[in-house]
Structure 1
């Protein structure tokens, strides 16, 4: 089935180290930080409908699916969408039906939000997975919470796609929300609250008023699933203030009602991880389609809120232990070594940029070496310029935080060491170049030969040096994201399927997809609600860990493991 028949164009995975993308994303991030208050549409949403929603389910029960960090490459995004759209997934000898509600937990599109990107990377694949409402039941409902990538255009495209109540739908899923945040009453005294923290800055006053009104219906017998754009409970380990907004929301909006927040769920980090404590489960599930992020750097325990928080009125700190992660820490470490192979293979543009920078630096060094006198050699304008470019680039790549944050010095130190390593490579390359018989030929012959002979070789060596840097830097918790973003691993995806029973028991089934499908064929004769594209190769999901069962206000139990789930 060609793109015209599909109605969208399947996209390749985003090349996160592409030079223009790095520049574009960096500029958009800077603009969002500088002018975020002017672009913030949450204040304007106060004029829109502010009612909460109710999803009664069937016979007092409800199935709810959760997916986050989708809208990247087609194969990974559609693999997860295809599994979510199936009538059921089998696990442990039991058929788990498709969710009556689908919650998208953030970053519905990459790299930056726009109408075309949502159409080709998100809406198109999900419409292809479930083109029409199922014939054997009610149309499932879709809610979406924005992440930072959804915010890069000020939330314009997000609201146009997900906040159209009248006849709003994405394939077989209908949309109901009118704002970027929402409250949903679920069966058996359960509630879903989803808050929008624009880039983690704060929760705006109209949003707080909306949730105060919704929380008026809560009481001590109610339990809450709280969805957030980012797992700030994890990020607070290095940045204590990261959890302040979530803690403020819990203690000022939810805690006074007596309701218990039993589950915190988020995407943003592209893996699955669950921390468990006496009062609640903290779940990260960002495996909807974006590149895999490793898990071996995750701390074994968390103190939430962190004791270092500057908020004096913060909730009492509690300890949470990691209960499960996917991929496993051992698999994550093994995958990290693929950086030496995948970075050069998947980032041709970045390798070319490194080759150009190193070639120009070598020519500047060679030119300085041919000049007379130490002063002229060390301070030739082209050479100084290239050295500044290298050092500034490597320090910025290390992403040093502000000076008032913990462990900020290591970013500067590691960035400078990385820069001097590239300078040392350039010195070695220059030494070799000056011993070649044609280095002093008449200009522009040296430039042409350098581009043809020297450039490709030094580009490969420079990417290997970058890969080595990423491996070493990750040991100090620096550039861990880039270590995996540069590899663009599409496999090891994850999503949640939750079940609320009529007696109030919440069961969470975390599914993992070890290998996404990369070959599809059209099914033009299928039923109206059946997927347009079917997998040519096996596509299966399995339970990452035993299902998590929450009984009553505080009780928790974990049953035995399930088997592989098949669509």
Structure 2
């Protein structure tokens, strides 16, 4: 069965399977934009974290019921709750009691080593943010996240603990649905929830700690949250303890690309909650001699790892050799949402970056991007081009039918406007008369005038932007120089300032081409004027839906950074290439990270009867699981 067939059995399944979100569909864009704006405007006035202090919040422990355990397996997955096929494929893989994974790396020609890796299901499942798309609600959580996960693991003899931190999509309703889903200690299938707030602290075996932070759309950490971590984390840290910090977004990337202060909150938390703690009754702080060994996040729907450069490493931007002493920063957001690009990731992250307010207080530490990302840079570029390639199957109008409809309507309206102006230029009253009586010779002059006006507006806009740049540079010369140099990511260049103007001009050219075609068509004189006008509008709408959308896709593909560049992948809603992290803390204290990928997800399902009387969807075949890169070993001590 396909998803559309499963939807017919929603009552028996107790949830409604959903298709992948089409992010460039106009209705979806508008709905998500409105919720994002409302969340940003009212988050400060309805911050539910402030009232969470009245809820009991104890220190969590894993594995559950095993205080003397010396080993634990942990699963980390982020950006789940999108389309049913992708989300359920990942959920079923997580639910397997044991995975047999070839030691050969995905995408390489290396022959596999003898024997497979045997990776046990995590007794702790960490949801790293954005548990539902496109926006949080009780129904969305039920259909897009809870239903698929409950079907993948209806029950377990030893229920794993599930903890979750909210991402920006969870915050779009003010965190209401998130708190109902994850903080009321109700099971989600065979997984058991225990947290009572939107953040958590878990004591792990071998003196490891797991921390989940809620920064409320990247703004700040509230006082109740800080008091919680002071009590349950800082006060209990001992020298040599290792900490895993989970955040909702990779602010270490944003701090180098767009906002030099984006990482400040996490850096402050590391310095004041983990590396030091306050002495009760005084303002003095003392070192804990504990350290963050691993930063985990999602939000960007790919896999990328940055490793700390040690003092003995050679200079440059090369990939440093594996060393368990290195701190790691890992982005893994492939739990269900569309695949994101990796070919624009910076090679080195200096933290704090140039321009940060914390740069003078702490010397910067460089983190280098490791050799393996998923997708790799070459495949990332190839996949990004799919939005502008009609035969790729991921062309913008194919994957976002609503966008094609909107383009058709806009071009029909633009055609009417141009046709009216052409009629005035030809000295006739009705636009249809201009189409029937005029020839291409008459049209070229009109088209040249339109292009001249557009070019003049373009030049004026360019000169205005150039003047603003000159004025900004004059102001900067009077103050501090902006950060610069090779260590600042090239993504700051974003789009050229003329990008939107080029997009508008290209659509105007498509509309002019539609008018030229209609002028060139020899409509029979006996045809009624209304019929001719309808045919012209239909032609303009057709060209707008496909040619206009195709030209827009080419403009999106030309973007080198910024939000428009993100549309290259989000506009395709790529369902394959999903993955998660499996971690193991072994006796002795070393942590091993296994980055796993499902290159192809399951798209065929069958319904099976449940003892409770309902049904659940079961995959007809198990997706193959592969390693993205060799397992990464991280020692507990710095």
Q: TM-score by structure 1 length?
A: 0.87
Match of 1:467 in 2: 553
1:368-387 maps to which residues of 2 (within 5 A)?
A: 368-372=421-425
Match of 1:558 in 2: none
Counterparts of 1:241 and 1:373 in 2: how far apart (Å)? 59
Q: 1:314 to 1:196 in 2, by over 3 A?
A: farther
Q: Name the stretch that deviates more: 476-485 or 43-52.
A: 476-485
Match of 2:207 among 189, 214, 223: 189
Per-residue Cα deviation, 1:109-152 (whole angstroms, up to 9, x for no partner):
0001000000000000000000012x3xx211100000000000
Does structure 1 residue 539 correspond to structure 2 residue 623?
Answer: yes
Does structure 1 residue 551 correspond to structure 2 residue 582?
Answer: no
Q: 1:139 to 1:364 in 2, by over 3 A?
A: same
Q: 1:446 to 1:36 in 2, by over 3 A?
A: farther
Deviation, 1:438, is 4.4
Deviation, 1:62, is 0.7
Q: 1:478 to 1:122 in 2, by over 3 A?
A: closer
Q: Name the stretch that deviates more: 99-108 or 25-34.
A: 25-34
Contact 1:248 1:314 in 2 (8 A): no
Q: 1:175 to 1:216 in 2, by over 3 A?
A: same
Q: Name the stretch that deviates more: 203-212 or 71-80.
A: 203-212
Deviation, 1:532, is 3.8
Does structure 1 residue 227 correspond to structure 2 residue 246?
Answer: yes
1:145-294 maps to which residues of 2 (within 5 A)?
A: 145-165=165-185, 168-214=186-232, 215-238=234-257, 239-256=259-276, 257-277=288-308, 278=310, 279-294=326-341
Match of 1:307 in 2: 354
Match of 1:564 in 2: none
Contact 1:247 1:314 in 2 (8 A): no
| SS of aligned partner of 2:569 | helix
Q: 1:439 to 1:188 in 2, by over 3 A?
A: farther
| SS of aligned partner of 1:149 | helix
Deviation, 1:436, is 2.6
Counterparts of 2:550 and 2:80 in 1: how far apart (Å)? 30
Match of 2:382 in 1: 334
Does structure 1 residue 25 correspond to structure 2 residue 45?
Answer: no
Does structure 1 residue 295 correspond to structure 2 residue 380?
Answer: no
Contact 1:127 1:171 in 2 (8 A): yes
Counterparts of 2:608 and 2:351 in 1: how far apart (Å)? 49
Q: 1:121 to 1:40 in 2, by over 3 A?
A: same
Q: Name the stretch that deviates more: 140-149 or 437-446.
A: 437-446
Counterparts of 2:496 and 2:263 in 1: how far apart (Å)? 22
Per-residue Cα deviation, 1:60-102 (whole angstroms, up to 9, x for no partner):
1111100000000000000000000010111342321100000
Counterparts of 2:361 and 2:174 in 1: how far apart (Å)? 30
- Structure 1, gaps ≥5 residues long: 392-402, 555-567
Counterparts of 1:532 and 1:317 in 2: how far apart (Å)? 52
Deviation, 1:327, is 1.0
| SS of aligned partner of 2:504 | helix
1:408-557 maps to which residues of 2 (within 5 A)?
A: 410=495, 412-438=497-523, 444-473=530-559, 475-477=560-562, 479-524=564-609, 532-554=616-638
Match of 2:143 in 1: 120
Contact 1:411 1:478 in 2 (8 A): no
Counterparts of 1:55 and 1:307 in 2: how far apart (Å)? 39
Does structure 1 residue 142 correspond to structure 2 residue 226?
Answer: no
Counterparts of 1:438 and 1:207 in 2: how far apart (Å)? 72
Counterparts of 1:552 and 1:226 in 2: how far apart (Å)? 13
Counterparts of 1:542 and 1:314 in 2: how far apart (Å)? 42
Match of 1:398 in 2: none
Per-residue Cα deviation, 1:513-553 (whole angstroms, up to 9, x for no partner):
1000100113337x99xx94332234111111011111241
Does structure 1 residue 69 correspond to structure 2 residue 79?
Answer: yes
Q: CA RMSD in A?
A: 2.7
Contact 2:19 2:84 in 1 (8 A): yes
Counterparts of 1:309 and 1:217 in 2: how far apart (Å)? 31
Counterparts of 1:408 and 1:198 in 2: how far apart (Å)? 27
- Structure 2, gaps ≥5 residues long: 1-5, 104-115, 277-287, 311-325, 432-444, 459-471, 477-481, 483-490
Deviation, 1:313, is 5.6
1:45-124 maps to which residues of 2 (within 5 A)?
A: 45-56=52-63, 59-91=69-101, 92=103, 93-124=116-147
